[in-house]
């Protein structure tokens, strides 16, 4: 039985603004790992190389940095908006995978009777058809399809256009067309145009129709063949004739490459504005428009339909200004991120705008900005703002990020009392003394935002708090509110957890890269479910490590325990918590694993990198285990049941090479 080896750990840089880490629309939520600032260094364990060809689904995984603003519409430039989505208050959770036949989802509307009972008003069946033309392997297409799958109660049928003529279509309430430009662009678009005629009733019966086209971002629009341009225009014309009033979403990604920014002649700019308008103006009921990754300096005379509610013009690293851009009056969400905007002073924003994303621009000042009164979410991260004084944020604001700005002194900033999600991470500020955080704040990111924590007063109802990289020496003086559920304290100078009084509601605790050497006599709260003490093997100042788990008492409800890259030498006569699902002991100094019992829910066990661990004695591996990583020399001494389960594709078994740095 041959087993492919793993490589040694590598340093990985995560760009928090990249579409892969922060796609255009994602489910709300914060990941198990703290925000990372300008550069996130994650200790990545070797990539999986399975003994058998099976990929078990693991509930817990050490993955990417979390996303700012757990809202329903994630406007990060370069991504895609799923057609049929609701800009706000949408319950977007993972649903069914792509189906080959259309499963149905029945939604029953109801109304209350006089005595409080419920009576059904109507029954509506929802299903979605996705038509694919081209390879559809582009990141934007993949993200778009992923976003569609997140929409609740709308199962998907996915059909390639070259199979469409033989496919028996059902009735669909939502239809999405995805086209990726390639050498067969003309043929693929012709297939779809033909469907508008041969299956017209299919589109006429849909409630909403959307399309998503990704062009070649390295190709000038002027260099496209005439037949390609003609077929694109024919697609728009045919779709409009067939069901134009049903088109509520359109995406035109990467149509204009970087050469467009050199257009300066008035006539050429007028023609450019006309071309952009012609892409969207015909859709009278358009709600969502994604014009991402287009290299446009400004929007010369461009008009979007007044029905538009969500607009993405981010990406392209070219957009210089919003001045003079007449935005639709019904617009609720605008993304103009990843550009070179230096100012938003005197920009006329729609009065109903609720979300504004301007991250990764070059904005210096906000002194003369008139932000719309109904704004709920504002992202100004990764700009050049050096002060928050005299800025009047809208009084109903709930989400605010000014992270990664050169703000040397936060004093004088006035945050609306309504702010619930506040990101002040990665700023060169010295102290939070005198800063009044809103009492309603429940998510607070202060990573790398102060040189010391003296004078820090935390909001009373905060549920998630990040204080990583702030030189914290001790936990008790922080006076942590009892309601905190997630606490990030990695990359600090904490030496001991003895006598620490943790918040009584704490569920997740991240303490990697501190100076902690033991967990003995540490009283962790019984509510704790995730304990992460994993070290960074590339940090040059690491001097203190945990060396033993003897006499350590772990919380009864613990589900995830990460102790990678310490110096634990032996684990003997230990019973891990009943509910534990993930245990990471990678790259320690383990030589003895004896008389150890795991609970019946363990799914992931990582022993990789412990090259002196050549045998185990009286260790019970539960049937729930689906992912086991081991040092190379342990393979021949594993229990026969483990090898048997791997051969049956019930278990992923991976061996590792020695750790080198």
In a domain, 552, yes or no: yes
- DSSP assignment of 140-164, as one string? HHHHHHHHHHHBTT--EEEEEHHHH
Last residue of some domain: 238, 255, 272?
A: 255
> Per-residue pLDDT averaged across 206-221, rounded?
95
Is residue 111 over pLDDT 50?
A: no
**Of the candidate ranges 408-412, 547-551, 565-569, the one whose mean pLDDT is the lowest:** 408-412
Q: Are residues 546 and 579 in the same domain?
A: no
The pLDDT assigned to 659 comes to 58
Per-residue confidence at 151, pLDDT binned at 50, 70, 90? confident
Q: In the structure, what pLDDT confidence band is assigned to residue 660 with cuts at 50, 70 and 90?
A: low
Q: Tens of pLDDT along 154-192?
A: 899 999 998 888 899 999 999 999 999 999 999 999 999
DSSP letter for each residue of 17-54: TSTTTS-SS--S---SS---TT-EEEEEPPPP--SSS-
Tell me the pLDDT tens digit for each residue of 3-53.
444 444 433 333 333 333 333 223 223 233 333 333 322 222 223 233 222
| Range with top average pLDDT, 22-31, 34-43, 293-302, 455-464 | 455-464
Same domain? For 192 and 223 the reply is: yes
Report pLDDT for 95. Answer: 26
Percent of the chain with pLDDT over 70: 81
Residue 225: CB partners within 8 Å, gap ≥ 6? Answer: none
613 within domain boundaries: yes
Residue 326 located in a structural domain: no
- Please report the pLDDT score of residue 542 as a whole number: 75
**138 and 246 in one domain?**
yes
- Structure token digits, residue 345: 């002073």
pLDDT at residue 269 tops 50: yes
Return d(Cα 336, Cα 323) in angstroms, integer.
Answer: 12
Query: 331 to each of 80, 162, 355, 362, 610, how far by Cα in Å?
Result: 17, 37, 9, 24, 56
Q: How far apart are CA 410 and CA 431, in angstroms?
A: 8
Mean pLDDT in residue range 566-571: 97
Q: What mean pLDDT, rounded, does the chain reach?
A: 84
Same domain, 523 and 611: no
Does 235 lie in the same domain as 132?
yes
Same domain, 181 and 244: yes
- For residue 423, being part of any structural domain is answered with no
CA distance 600 to 606: 17
Q: Is residue 110 part of a domain?
A: no
State yes or no: pLDDT of 55 exceeds 90.
no
Residues 575, 640 share a domain: yes
Evaluate if residue 112 carries a pLDDT over 60. no
Q: Return the minimum-mean-pLDDT range out of 72-81, 179-188, 497-506.
A: 72-81
**For the segment 363-411, what is each residue's pLDDT rounded down to a tens digit?**
999 988 999 999 999 999 999 999 999 899 999 999 999 999 999 999 9
Confidence of residue 251 (pLDDT cuts 50, 70, 90): very high
**Predicted pLDDT at 322:** 96
d(CA 160, CA 141): 13
Kindly tell me if the per-residue pLDDT of 556 is higher than 50.
yes
Q: Report the number of distinct structural domains present in the chain.
A: 3
- Is 137 in contact with 182 (CB distance < 8 Å)? no
pLDDT of residue 58: 25
Q: Do residue 523 and residue 610 come from a single domain? A: no
Confirm if 275 and 249 have CB atoms less than 8 A apart: no
pLDDT digits (tens, 9 = 90+) for 471-494: 999 999 999 999 999 999 999 999
Domain stops at, among 206, 229, 255: 255
24 in any annotated domain: no
Q: Has residue 651 been placed in a domain? A: yes
Q: For position 124, what pLDDT does the model report? A: 56
Claim to verify: residue 202 and residue 247 sit in the same structural domain: yes
**Which phi and psi (to 5°) does residue 508 adopt?**
-135, 130
Structural domain for 655, as ranges = 570-583+593-660
Q: Which residue has the higher pLDDT, 503 or 7?
A: 503
CATH classification at residue 226: 3.40.50
State the Cα–Cα distance between residues 248 and 312, nearest whole angstrom.
14
Query: In this structure, are 526 and 576 located in the same domain?
Result: no
**What pLDDT shows up at residue 661?**
55
Please check whether residues 144 and 211 belong to one and the same domain.
yes
The pLDDT, as a whole number, for residue 29 is 32
Final residue belonging to a domain, choices 211, 235, 255:
255
Read off the pLDDT of residues 133-147 as tens digits, 9 standing for 90 and up. 999 998 999 999 999
Query: Bigger pLDDT: 469 or 301?
Result: 469
Same domain, 536 and 635: no
Residue 214 pairs in a beta bridge with 180, 253
């Amino acid at each position: 039985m041959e087993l492919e080896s793993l490589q040694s750990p590598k340093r990985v840089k995560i760009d928090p603004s990249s579409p892969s880490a922060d796609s255009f629309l994602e489910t709300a939520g914060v990941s198990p790992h703290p925000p990372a600032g300008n550069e996130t260094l994650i200790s990545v364990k070797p990539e999986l190389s399975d003994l058998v060809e099976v990929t078990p689904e693991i509930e817990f995984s050490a993955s990417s940095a979390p996303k700012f603003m757990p809202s329903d519409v994630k406007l990060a430039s370069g991504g895609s908006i799923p057609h049929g989505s609701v800009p706000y208050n949408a319950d977007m959770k993972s649903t069914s995978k792509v189906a080959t036949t259309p499963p149905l989802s029945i939604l029953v509307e109801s109304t209350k009777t006089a005595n409080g009972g419920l009576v059904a008003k109507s029954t509506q069946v929802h299903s979605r058809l996705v038509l694919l033309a081209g390879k559809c392997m582009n990141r934007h297409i993949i993200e778009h399809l992923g976003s569609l799958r997140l929409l609740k109660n709308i199962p998907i049928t996915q059909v390639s256009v070259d199979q469409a003529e033989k496919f028996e279509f059902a009735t669909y309430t939502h239809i999405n067309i995805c086209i990726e430009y390639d050498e067969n662009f003309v043929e693929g678009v012709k297939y779809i145009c033909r469907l508008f005629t041969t299956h017209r009733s299919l589109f006429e019966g849909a409630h909403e129709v959307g399309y998503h086209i990704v062009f070649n971002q390295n190709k000038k629009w002027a260099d496209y063949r005439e037949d390609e341009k003609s077929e694109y225009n024919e697609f728009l014309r045919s779709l409009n004739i067939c069901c134009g009033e049903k088109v509520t979403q359109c995406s035109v990604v990467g149509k204009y490459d970087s050469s467009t920014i050199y257009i300066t002649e008035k006539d050429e700019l007028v023609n450019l504005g006309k071309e952009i308008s012609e892409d969207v103006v015909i859709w009278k009921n358009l709600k969502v428009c994604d014009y991402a990754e287009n290299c446009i300096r400004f929007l010369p005379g461009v008009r979007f339909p007044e029905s538009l509610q969500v607009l993405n013009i981010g990406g392209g690293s070219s957009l210089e200004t919003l001045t003079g851009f007449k935005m639709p009056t019904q617009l609720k969400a605008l993304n103009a991120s990843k550009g070179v905007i230096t100012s938003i002073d005197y920009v006329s924003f729609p009065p109903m705008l609720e979300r504004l994303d301007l991250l990764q621009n070059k904005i210096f000042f906000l002194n003369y900005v008139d932000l719309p009164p109904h704004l709920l979410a504002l992202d100004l991260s990764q700009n050049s703002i050096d002060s928050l004084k005299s800025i009047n944020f809208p009084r109903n604001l709930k989400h605010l990020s000014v992270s990664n700005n050169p703000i040397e002194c936060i004093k004088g900033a006035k945050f609306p009392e309504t702010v619930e999600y506040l990101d002040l991470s990665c700023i060169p500020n010295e102290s939070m003394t005198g800063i009044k955080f809103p009492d309603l704040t429940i998510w607070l990111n202060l990573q790398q935002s102060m040189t010391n924590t003296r004078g820090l007063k935390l909001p009373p109802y905060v549920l998630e708090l990040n204080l990583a990289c702030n030189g914290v020496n001790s936990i008790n003086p922080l006076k942590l509110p009892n309601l905190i559920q997630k606490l990030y304290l990695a990359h600090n100078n904490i030496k001991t957890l003895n006598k620490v009084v943790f918040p009584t509601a704490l569920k997740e605790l991240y303490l990697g890269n501190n100076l902690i050497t033991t967990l003995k006599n540490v009283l962790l709260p019984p509510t704790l479910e995730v304990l992460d003490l994993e070290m960074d093997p590339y940090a040059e100042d690491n001097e203190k490590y945990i060396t033993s788990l003897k006499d350590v008492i772990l919380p009864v409800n613990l589900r995830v325990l990460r102790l990678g890259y310490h110096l634990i030498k032996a684990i003997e006569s230990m019973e891990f918590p009943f509910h534990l699902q993930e245990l990471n002991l990678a790259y320690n100094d383990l030589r003895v694993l004896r008389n150890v019992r795991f609970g019946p829910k363990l799914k992931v066990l990582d022993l990789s990198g412990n090259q002196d661990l050549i045998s185990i004695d009286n260790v019970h591996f539960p049937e729930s285990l689906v992912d086991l990583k081991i040092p190379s020399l342990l393979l021949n001494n594993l229990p026969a049941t483990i090898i048997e389960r791997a051969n049956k594709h019930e278990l992923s078994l991976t061996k590792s090479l020695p750790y080198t740095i």
